[in-house]
Structure 1
Amino acid sequence: MKHLGYLFGLGVAALPISSALADVKSQSLHNKQFLWDDLKQVISESHPHSFSASTLGTGRLTAEKTAHNVHYKLTKRTGAPTVYEHYRAYVGNYPVLSSNLVVVRNNNGEIRQAMGSLISGIASQGQALFHDMPHTQLSQRLEALPELIDVAKYSYEKAFFLNSDTLIPVIEVLATFNDRKEKILLNGDDLTVVSKSYDMSFAFSQQSLKDAGYVAGGGIGGNDKLGAICYSPSPDSMQNCTSYQFDEIAPKGAELRFEDLSQTAIFYEFNGYPFIVKKENNNCILDNPYVVTYDAAVSETTPVSYVCQTNNENFVKREIDQTFDAYYSYSPANEAHFNAGLVMQYFHTQLKALYPQQSTDCDNNGYCIKPLSQKVNRNTIFGTNSASWDGEFVNYGSGNGGYEYFALTGMSIAAHEIAHAITEWNSGLGREDVDSAINEGLSDISAIAILDYYQHTASGAYTQSQAFADQFTDQSGLYTKNRKWWYGWDVFPQDKAARFFELPSWDGRSIDHVKDFTTAKTGHDNGGVLRKAFYELVKTQGWTIQQAYRLFLRANTSGCVFSGMSLNEFGFCLVDQTAHIQVGNKSLNQIKADVSHSLAGVGISTGIGLSTLDADAWLNYNQASYDLSRINQDTIRSINVNWGDGQSESWQHDSGTPIYPYLQRSKQVVEDTLIRFSVNVTTEDQNGNQATQSAYNHFYSRPAALRCEPFMNNAVLHTSTLSINNFTLSGLNAGYRAKLDTPWPVAKPREHTLSFAQDLSGKRVSVYFDSNRNGLMESSEAVLSSQTISGSSVKFTLDQQTNRGLGLLRVAIANNEFDYSLLDVCGVADNAQVVDVMMDVDSDNLPLISDFEVQYLDGNRVKFTNTSQVNEAKNPQFYWQFGFDNRISTARDPGIIDFPTNGGQFDVSLQIQYPDQSENDTKQTRISLDPVNACPAKISNGANADVIYIDDMKLFNYSTLIANVPSAAGFNRDGYSLNNLSGTDIKRRTYISVEIMTNLMPRSTAENLLQNGNRDVRFTIWLDADGNEEFAPSESGLDNDPNYNYWIDNSQCTTVSGSEYCRISATKSLTLPNVSTWDWSKWFVLRSKLEERPTNDYKSDACNRFNYGEIEDLKIKVTRY
């Protein structure tokens, strides 16, 4: 029996990524010493010989192993005596994005810490379509994408992206447009967009320079708030500026001098004065070996230049008047050149002090700092009120005439953006999630440190001005009197800041503590935890700003920091650099304690012990849990648990108490507290030797019933009841409803049904699960994302990496695709209904249910996957029977079973019970297998049968219709149908064409499947002329081109909720065989095979199983006359 397919059951991603790599495991390494043996094995394969520049990235893995195994390559090695080794995961020659891990070694070469995640798994043999495509052809395809319209330049990398436990082949494109840079992640199978983000960070032995023609310049800068600042290399040297006054209200220009007599200052020849220009004849160019300044309003390729006046002053009154009249800023180019020169000199001086042995500006074993290019008046797609580092330039917007912003060339902005460049050149932190929080936090901290350097090094009349004094007021606890700890004050017309240090949440967005971290906030907001920690290190622990900043700068450049790290791992890096920092008369232990206390105050833990026990520990809101099920319980002699809030428990082997409640255990802990959890387990081997191992973790607890109500623009009632499996919430109202009191139990491995009170076909549903248990919904936690509803229910499964225990599930029902979004941390709903339900994942209260999935492979090999619902703590016992030769298994997952080659029907069962006999359950199913030498025609996994299938079939003789085949409509779970064409006889040697149409799918999916070159879908026909049921290549259609005769029939397309759905049509032809005179008529089987991502040769795959598609066998009667 075939089931009819319905359009509304399809989502935008209806077609699967058949080359995705499943069963990949990712394990966090931080503080987990028990994983170091596995880690050592992995990294030993990356560099079997001693380290040198020539061995970086080499390995001795065989070509076969590296082609299919996830393996690691050494990419960087820095530091002494502490060494930081950076590794990146690869599949074949393609990197796994965000797979960095860092191994920390002591001076004896021994591992003392590891950070990041260890990824392991084996790739499938298949190659993604666009991974396999040559460069020239792939470039053409990329350039044709709508996402790259108007691109100025781009680069791409073939890679893999880890999503839960699946590696997805992707193409990562870095695209530069005239007004922005974007990072676009494309599916490696069909070039659909996986994600898109802006690749920009936003603000909010030295040769003689004099001999090379560089001179000290100067001129006017500042704005209406700061006043007219005269950048002056010597007293009274900028007399045009100091005599200038825009009008009777504006102040006269005031001299600002700056001297840094440090021997390591890059502008030492000019006494550290940073406004250095290149002088050619009488032309002064804002260009020196460290800073080049462009004015994007004039030229983006030629640096700013001016006619050198007395003392190389840049002063053209008419231009200054016009600029100030329009923007209330005097000269953005002058201001940017002075500020960037000062910032670059500061970084050079600090880095040389931190790394006295380094002689070059960029060293693989040390820090890296490069020349800086910057553009003023660089207004972009983001408007005039932004500044950014885009990987090549620092860009400063022009502001909007002093209405909200002056020119974005203030010193705080310059310091922030140039610090992004320092971060990119050294630690390579990204611009998303935790990376973004650390990246933005470091840049804000850099701005405070550089402003402090400026405050204490500048001199001249300007430093006596009210504006200068206002900028550096330092009175803790007084919101308006603590501007020294404000960021961005110098570019706002009002007396306000972009961000704060004393209490970051003063801005209404930033967080003061890790407990409030969420990816729904920006990196600037989440970076508040580092701003707060830095402030407390100075104010509470008594460090100077410069002492504290040297610690953060050293961490950022030491090689310890890496992309993809956690905040706790960043905390480790800070503590790890304390040996290189001097703070008055404090000892190293005191310095470490100061840093640890400052970080702990914002929820970053650094004192977590090394875990030697292979155990999991996690926190769900106010419920702490641990899992010891991977330890052989027969060897355990004692378990001692410290829940971290004063509660403790223990179990002893001779206590007479059952052990299984202590193998997996949860406990409610004190809320809003840093929980320092530990568990100690003593085991005994067969020789009577005992050993104790420990596991540690730190968490910040929060209330479980904390509501995160979305902002409702228009509350709507779509359903009055909501059910998940057998649990129902009734009496729902329009808008928002939360059920947090009694959690609903749910099993992680199983598929769940979400049911509504009535048919909601065409509506959109999004489902989120709070997997990190922070009480907020984030885009990465989407289980279903704006899926079109068909009927009165949808199905979903949870991420298999989800920890057991309490977790909030959100269901959002809306009319259209974008009616529910995460623009706000708790969501924004338009014409929508939102329901939150507290779930209990893998609850001990779940009933035991035996279940498994079956996947058919070639050669009568069958793969069984256990999807049962069990309580792991009760040590479930599994008993498989396969229905032949007394074949059994007691494994949880028996894997692939070889069944008899002669085929047959086999009763397969899985019985599960607990040792205490409290529960048992059995599932039994019958599978049918053809003889191996026969020609099977089945899909490998019946769950995929509705993905793509033949939904319409017609037979033609040229343009004359011979027959409709109504039985072709729909699908069944075998992916196979056999039917008779009754009432239609076809004459021998007739030329016939078989024309099919697929089920409906998004137009974008259909178009991607039919791209030029090797198509991603294939239609083939055969006629079994000799009756041996083998469908040989010689019995196939007439053409030899598998990519010929496919199209999208626009008349068959339809639009639903703004999205267009279409069918793929295809046709293939052959000539019917002869019928002898003694037969008169004869029945033949016509086989039609539709397959997505075919893996076998064209026309030779009639008898191969397939992953996605369908086979239609049609018996037709061929007559002689």
Structure 2
Amino acid sequence: MQGLKSLCVLASAISMYCHGAERVSLFNDTQKIAPTLQQKQSTFGDDSNQNYLLTLKTFAAQYTGHTLTFHQSQVGQTKQSHTITQKYQNIPIWNHDLVVLTDENGAVEQVYGDLIINVAKDIPTLAPVSEAQLSATLDSVISQFTSERPRIFRRSSAEEVIYIDAHGKARHAAKLTFFTDFKSGPFKPQRILAFVDLITNELISQSDVLQRVVYEGGSGPSGNDKVSRPDYQQEDYVSYPPKTFVVAMETDAQQTNCLFDAKNVETRNYNHGTAQVNMPYSYNCSDSTRNDYKEYHGARSALNDAHHHGQTASLMFEAYLGHKPYFNKKIIQNVHYGLNMDQAFYENGEVYFGDGDYLFYPMVSLDVVAHEIAHGFTEEYGSNTPKSMLTGQARAINEAFSDMAGEAAEFFYSGANDWKSNHETFRLDDALRYFKTPTLDGNSIDHVEDYDDSVTSHHGAGVFNKAFYYLTTADLDNETSPWNTKYAFILFANANKNCWTSNSTYLTGADCVMRQTHTVTDQLTQDGVKKQDGSNWQATDLQNHVRKAFAQVGIGLKVDRGLESELGFDRQFLAFDFKNLTRRDGQQVSASNSEGWQWQWNFGDGSAQSSAFEPTHNYTTAGEYNVELTAIAPSGQSDTFMLPIEVFDDYCPAQGINHSKYYLSSVSLNSYKNDSTSSNYSDYSHDVVEVKDGKALNVTLTAAPHPDTQDKTKNFYVWLDKDNDGLFHKTEELALFGSSKTQLTGEISLSGELNQSYRLRTMVSFGLVKSACGDMSWGEVEDYTVKLIENTDPVDLRISTNQGVNQISFENNTVDARVKRWHWKFGDGTTSSEKSPIHQYAQSGNYAVELKAYDRFNKVIGSWNKQVQFNTTITARFTPRKSGSTVYVDTNQSVIPKGSTIQWQFGDGVTSSVRDTQHTYQADGEYTITLTINHADGTQSTTETVKIGETSFTPDVSYTVSEQADGTFKVSFSNTTTKPDNASRYPDVTLEWNFGDGSTLTQTGDFGQDTEHTYQAAGNFSASLTISYDKPIWDDWGSRVTGTKNMLLELKSTQPVEYCTAVGLTDYEHISNVTFNQDGPFSNAQQPGVVNPNNPIKLYATQNNTYRIEAGYAGNEAFAENYHIWIDLNGDGQFGDGDWRNNKSELLVMDFDQTNQDYGKGYVEGEFSIPSNKLSQPVTTTRMRILQYYGFSRVNSIDPCSDYSSAATSGSGEIEDYLVEIYKN
């Protein structure tokens, strides 16, 4: 409504991660690092982009160890794109490349990506990393995969990087990549991208980054049971693009063979396997080029269609962009990959196509093939500047571009589009995804406000897909649109190449697209596409079209040139206050300076148009309307902006389908309390609860204590329509959320227009809820009303101070939404506008601190004053690192107050005032290094001694323990020590073993001699190996070198195996029965304990084992269920050696029963193999655990120790244990 003020929701709990590494964003603020930079003046003459890049480089260099590497490329005839790799200590900072765009004059247009600084604060010391260490780290991660059942591994790599983790902390890490899949079905191809901290060996992150069509797969080709196509004809090769596939013909003395290796595409036949294939598919074509191989799973010939469609896609890229998709590298296609696999994916320059199963036909339709090839284009495979858009919104943009490539290939081939992604191969519906209306698939989003971290990349693609569709198909006023699929694809492809980054967002990605229109104007001119008056299209004209296209999906862009009409609105149900946001050359037109302008508003409902500057309009019915604003400048120039709006006449409906066991028994709002009984939805909005402006609204939601669910964890939600627009925005207006078995309590602070009422929606649910609207399976919804009244009380400021190390933290826990601005004075001349600042004083002393709180009228409504005592701490500490004659030192271990200076003295007369530095000694010897910290409050020094020219030596030995039947312990010591470089030719080696139980052993001869020792009883023993040897006579006169490796042996008798307790929730589904090989079916009627304590299931390590698990349900509907099978293979009483999240060696089956959304068939079946290397005995008797977990989507990990009634591992389904006998041979 007109005059409505904003309403704020404040949460009282704040979490914070504080790390040294920082981001500096230059997006839309290119001069942040160089405010005095004059773009037309530099030491490089008029080459101002070089001046800016030099400033960037200089800015980064002031931070220890930071450097930038530049790669320049041409964009069109006049513009340039500069890709910048950031490095720390010459190690690349992964996933944080910058892109700088410069215009035809060399001036900086835009900077994409964040500059990373202060890495040294997170990584104080950077130890050298060897290839061996990287290789060992890679092997360690790969080893987590090798034991599930036989696998293939290929294309592995390990690289040293700086990794910025989820909390913004810089980590010295190994970047590890490899491809893996099972050797036999069921197949699960994965491209693993993992990061391991090289300091702590912690696995920071691990993900499957394989590019797939949907979930783990894609869809099928033309020429199947769904879409019939005529046969390919040999003579159609002469057309352009060819209407048939092209082969290479090779003739020998016996016959002519046709190879699927032509026109930049090599297609291989994996014949339903996963073992590496290195040759193209070929067939005897001595008599005819016809290939009838082979009809499978409803497709006539997946090989023919894949090869033809790959060639068509490659020609499209070359025709539209001037180069092949992978530059000078050809496309490798792998068809019939895996057995009945519902997937297609891209991996390291190759594309793979499964034959489909329940969801898809063989997945080789033109749009699917082009989609997968486009992933390699996005990765810039074959170029010198590869990028990986694999996380967050960047991955959604990645998927959207591949969808666009599918439509571009269709347009290139036929001149038309169906605007459906994966129509031809999707079995269950018309298409997998849609461009015009992405939400038709039931999962995709089409507006940025609908995105959150739970949206998958394929469904997040709907945002850019819809903008692409609008740009391609929208009509223009008084002009024929220059756009079609070809030009739109050229635009997005150039954005992909020139300024999309690994961490692009919807906003930055769209801005980049808008700035590439000059690449399309060149093509339009070349193709003779002109305006109606015969003039050429200009880049700014096209930018305005792009701006309007992205406005349809909620992304606001500004051309800042020419006339840009634009509208916005405030709403409350059917009533709208429209806002005029029109700009002229970047300056917004206001009512006061709009003389001579004309306005034409079309509200899209057939009502009369308005000529007002900012009209109001009342719709008569709910619905979707296309609202248009045409702005006509005094010069006569006009521009029309259209925005679709959805109009509602009431709040969105919501209800719980099953509410008898999950419902709210009471809701309390301050002193108001409402008790209620079970209902799917209740409207209590007629009860108005008054709340003082800014005061806390204390909320308590209590769940009914139903006997079946009183011990189950429930999810509670409170939404508040804070802007009174009749909508509950799913993130901004979610005021409270929590999980508990009984109750949620919290407080909300409100501030806004007085005497206005606001709708409050409360929910309790068994499952997680993403929106305040719609149906939920189990739960209840209740609506209430709160009204704001005047509050004249001053703000209750809740401030606490904490003296830290050389800083004071001011923690502000004030809860009052009337406060719109904070102003701190720290008593030393400095200020802050942060709510809870951290301040460093330059010197110890007593300081008068003042805080003022301001409301939306900029009036002081609260103040706080306090004298604080600040004391500095000075600690000099360092650890020198030595490499040859060079010593590396830094101050990261020291505590240095603000305003300090430091000095290094290296003991040879050389000094330095640089905090992190290195020094090379000119002679061997012992040197004392001194660090001195000088500050106004005092001085501190410390020293460390280094020896230059001496080498340390430690034996390399490990051991294994085997408990014997008589209670003794046999320990095998493996000595892998090798001859050191400084050993003489005849080193006179002596090995002294001390076993820690009074026994010793002396050996001579070789460095790497093993031994065994038997301990008579359990206990802790300090064992050691000491090796001594001679140096050469020329090295310190052949002195003797001695090194010792100490080992603490903890020998324990085997304890009875005890397994963790797991608790399921069987109210809605349970495991009905299971069968393994020929054993079964077994059933426990939902009872606890081992199902078959006296009748073990027989499993075999030498063959594939079959399984079938059938589910039972409370009702008639079969829900989607995840199933995991764990077996304690090594008999240690744990699943995954106690680290089930990272160690999957004992997780043998992950299966998902789903047919559509949250429904399934009611059973799963398949095969699995058992890794024999985990078995120590010919026959192993051990425990098997089966977990059933209800879910709408595939769950990669389920805790084998789950308690589904607990908030920590909540869920629904049954968990069962079985006794198994595993035969190794």
Q: Report the TM-score when normalising by structure 1.
A: 0.53
* Residue 289 (structure 2) pairs with residue 313 (structure 1): yes
Task: Tell me which residue corresponds to 2:223.
Answer: 222
* Residue 432 (structure 2) pairs with residue 498 (structure 1): yes
Task: Tell me which residue corresponds to 1:286.
Answer: 260
Q: Is the 8 A contact 1:73 1:88 kept in 2?
A: yes
Q: Is the 8 A contact 2:80 2:102 kept in 1?
A: yes
* Residue 797 (structure 2) pairs with residue 850 (structure 1): yes
Specify whether residues 226 and 716 from structure 1 end up closer, same or farther in structure 2 by C-alpha distance, changes over 3 A only. Answer: closer
Task: Tell me which residue corresponds to 2:410.
Answer: 451
Give me the whole-angstrom Cα distance separating, in 2, the residues matched to 1:498 and 1:369. 33
Deviations 1:739-769, CA, capped at 9 Å, x for gaps: 9999999999x99997554899983658799
Give me the whole-angstrom Cα distance separating, in 2, the residues matched to 1:558 and 1:1054. 52
Partner of 1:294: helix, strand, or coil? Answer: strand
Specify whether residues 313 and 499 from structure 1 end up closer, same or farther in structure 2 by C-alpha distance, changes over 3 A only. Answer: same
Specify whether residues 830 and 492 from structure 1 end up closer, same or farther in structure 2 by C-alpha distance, changes over 3 A only. Answer: closer
Task: Tell me which residue corresponds to 1:588.
Answer: 537
Task: Tell me which residue corresponds to 1:391.
Answer: 348
Deviations 1:557-612, CA, capped at 9 Å, x for gaps: 5513334142532541453433222152232145555555555455555444399x
Task: Tell me which residue corresponds to 2:279.
Answer: 303
Task: Tell me which residue corresponds to 1:378.
Answer: 337
Q: Report how far residue 292 of structure 1 moved.
A: 1.7
Task: Tell me which residue corresponds to 2:190.
Answer: 181
The residue correspondences of 1:606-645 to structure 2 (distance < 5 A) are 606-609=557-560
Task: Tell me which residue corresponds to 2:499.
Answer: 560
* Residue 768 (structure 2) pairs with residue 820 (structure 1): yes
Task: Tell me which residue corresponds to 1:681.
Answer: none
Deviations 1:914-957, CA, capped at 9 Å, x for gaps: 59875334376999999999xxxxxx9xxxxxxxxxxxxxxxxx
Give me the whole-angstrom Cα distance separating, in 2, the residues matched to 1:897 and 1:339. 67
Q: Is the 8 A contact 1:561 1:570 kept in 2?
A: yes
Partner of 2:840: helix, strand, or coil? Answer: strand
Deviations 1:443-467, CA, capped at 9 Å, x for gaps: 33333332333337xxxxxxxxxxx
Deviations 1:149-203, CA, capped at 9 Å, x for gaps: 6672554664444657777887765452213225556685684676745431316
Deviations 1:857-902, CA, capped at 9 Å, x for gaps: 457x644455556789876554558xxxxx897655461348869x
The residue correspondences of 1:538-553 to structure 2 (distance < 5 A) are 538-539=472-473, 540=475, 541-543=480-482, 545=484, 547-549=486-488, 551-552=490-491
Q: Which amino acid in structure 2 is aligned with residue 452 of structure 1? A: F
Q: Is the 8 A contact 1:738 1:837 kept in 2?
A: yes
Q: Which amino acid in structure 1 is aligned with residue 530 of structure 2? A: N
Q: Report how far residue 772 of structure 1 moved.
A: 14
Specify whether residues 493 and 186 from structure 1 end up closer, same or farther in structure 2 by C-alpha distance, changes over 3 A only. Answer: closer
Q: Is the 8 A contact 2:395 2:457 kept in 1?
A: yes
Higher mean C-alpha deviation, range 329-338 or range 754-763? 754-763
Q: Report how far residue 347 of structure 1 moved.
A: 2.0
Unaligned runs of 5+ in 2: 1-12, 182-187, 216-220, 580-586, 596-614, 630-640, 750-755, 876-894, 896-1021, 1024-1044, 1066-1133, 1139-1225
Specify whether residues 556 and 894 from structure 1 end up closer, same or farther in structure 2 by C-alpha distance, changes over 3 A only. Answer: closer
Task: Tell me which residue corresponds to 2:212.
Answer: 201
Give me the whole-angstrom Cα distance separating, in 2, the residues matched to 1:838 and 1:159. 51
Q: Which amino acid in structure 1 is aligned with residue 19 of structure 2? A: L
Give me the whole-angstrom Cα distance separating, in 2, the residues matched to 1:924 and 1:536. 59
Specify whether residues 455 and 930 from structure 1 end up closer, same or farther in structure 2 by C-alpha distance, changes over 3 A only. Answer: closer
Give me the whole-angstrom Cα distance separating, in 2, the residues matched to 1:1043 and 1:669. 81
Partner of 2:106: helix, strand, or coil? Answer: coil
Give me the whole-angstrom Cα distance separating, in 2, the residues matched to 1:223 and 1:766. 48
Task: Tell me which residue corresponds to 1:440.
Answer: 399
Specify whether residues 391 and 833 from structure 1 end up closer, same or farther in structure 2 by C-alpha distance, changes over 3 A only. Answer: farther
Q: Report how far residue 810 of structure 1 moved.
A: 9.4
Give me the whole-angstrom Cα distance separating, in 2, the residues matched to 1:670 and 1:33. 43
Specify whether residues 336 and 717 from structure 1 end up closer, same or farther in structure 2 by C-alpha distance, changes over 3 A only. Answer: closer
Q: Report how far residue 395 of structure 1 moved.
A: 1.8
Q: Which amino acid in structure 2 is aligned with residue 896 of structure 1? A: Q
Q: Which amino acid in structure 1 is aligned with residue 537 of structure 2? A: L
Specify whether residues 699 and 863 from structure 1 end up closer, same or farther in structure 2 by C-alpha distance, changes over 3 A only. Answer: farther
Q: Which amino acid in structure 2 is aligned with residue 260 of structure 1? A: Y
Partner of 2:424: helix, strand, or coil? Answer: helix
The residue correspondences of 1:224-243 to structure 2 (distance < 5 A) are 224=225, 226-227=227-228, 229-234=230-235
Partner of 1:577: helix, strand, or coil? Answer: helix
Q: Report how far residue 376 of structure 1 moved.
A: 1.3
Give me the whole-angstrom Cα distance separating, in 1, the residues matched to 2:852 and 2:139. 55
* Residue 51 (structure 2) pairs with residue 103 (structure 1): no
Task: Tell me which residue corresponds to 1:142.
Answer: 141
Task: Tell me which residue corresponds to 2:1128.
Answer: none
Deviations 1:60-111, CA, capped at 9 Å, x for gaps: 67888245x8x86545644241112234566666666654543221122101
The residue correspondences of 1:253-292 to structure 2 (distance < 5 A) are 256-260=236-240, 274-277=245-248, 279=250, 281=252, 282=255, 283-288=257-262, 290-292=264-266
Specify whether residues 413 and 601 from structure 1 end up closer, same or farther in structure 2 by C-alpha distance, changes over 3 A only. Answer: same
Task: Tell me which residue corresponds to 1:945.
Answer: none
Give me the whole-angstrom Cα distance separating, in 2, the residues matched to 1:41 and 1:556. 28
The residue correspondences of 1:81-120 to structure 2 (distance < 5 A) are 81-87=78-84, 99-116=96-113
Q: Which amino acid in structure 2 is aligned with residue 351 of structure 1? A: L
Deviations 1:676-706, CA, capped at 9 Å, x for gaps: 99xxxxxxxxxxxxxxxxxxx9999878986
Give me the whole-angstrom Cα distance separating, in 2, the residues matched to 1:927 and 1:293. 74
Task: Tell me which residue corresponds to 2:308.
Answer: 338
For CA contacts below 8 A with separation 6 or more, give which structure has more relative contact order: 1
Give me the whole-angstrom Cα distance separating, in 2, the residues matched to 1:169 and 1:728. 55
Give me the whole-angstrom Cα distance separating, in 1, the residues matched to 2:262 and 2:543. 40
Specify whether residues 593 and 782 from structure 1 end up closer, same or farther in structure 2 by C-alpha distance, changes over 3 A only. Answer: closer
RMSD of aligned Cα (Å): 6.8
Specify whether residues 729 and 620 from structure 1 end up closer, same or farther in structure 2 by C-alpha distance, changes over 3 A only. Answer: farther
Q: Which amino acid in structure 2 is aligned with residue 919 of structure 1? A: I
Partner of 1:313: helix, strand, or coil? Answer: coil
Q: Report how far residue 440 of structure 1 moved.
A: 3.3
**When you count helix as a share of all residues, which structure comes out higher?**
1
Give me the whole-angstrom Cα distance separating, in 2, the residues matched to 1:832 and 1:492. 34
Q: Is the 8 A contact 1:333 1:376 kept in 2?
A: yes
* Residue 840 (structure 2) pairs with residue 896 (structure 1): yes
Q: Is the 8 A contact 1:22 1:166 kept in 2?
A: yes
Specify whether residues 711 and 291 from structure 1 end up closer, same or farther in structure 2 by C-alpha distance, changes over 3 A only. Answer: farther
Specify whether residues 762 and 507 from structure 1 end up closer, same or farther in structure 2 by C-alpha distance, changes over 3 A only. Answer: closer
Q: Is the 8 A contact 1:739 1:836 kept in 2?
A: yes
Q: Is the 8 A contact 1:645 1:670 kept in 2?
A: no
Q: Which amino acid in structure 1 is aligned with residue 100 of structure 2? A: V
Unaligned runs of 5+ in 1: 1-13, 205-219, 235-255, 262-270, 356-360, 457-471, 473-482, 612-616, 627-638, 648-666, 678-696, 799-804, 882-886, 934-939, 941-1037, 1065-1121
Q: Which amino acid in structure 2 is aligned with residue 415 of structure 1? A: A
Deviations 1:377-426, CA, capped at 9 Å, x for gaps: 1247xx633322233322222134xx864322222322222233223227
Task: Tell me which residue corresponds to 2:8.
Answer: none
Specify whether residues 879 and 756 from structure 1 end up closer, same or farther in structure 2 by C-alpha distance, changes over 3 A only. Answer: farther
* Residue 373 (structure 2) pairs with residue 418 (structure 1): yes
Give me the whole-angstrom Cα distance separating, in 2, the residues matched to 1:349 and 1:185. 37
Q: Is the 8 A contact 2:664 2:676 kept in 1?
A: no
Q: Is the 8 A contact 2:247 2:258 kept in 1?
A: no
The count of residues paired between Structure 1 and Structure 2 equals 769
Q: Report how far residue 344 of structure 1 moved.
A: 1.5
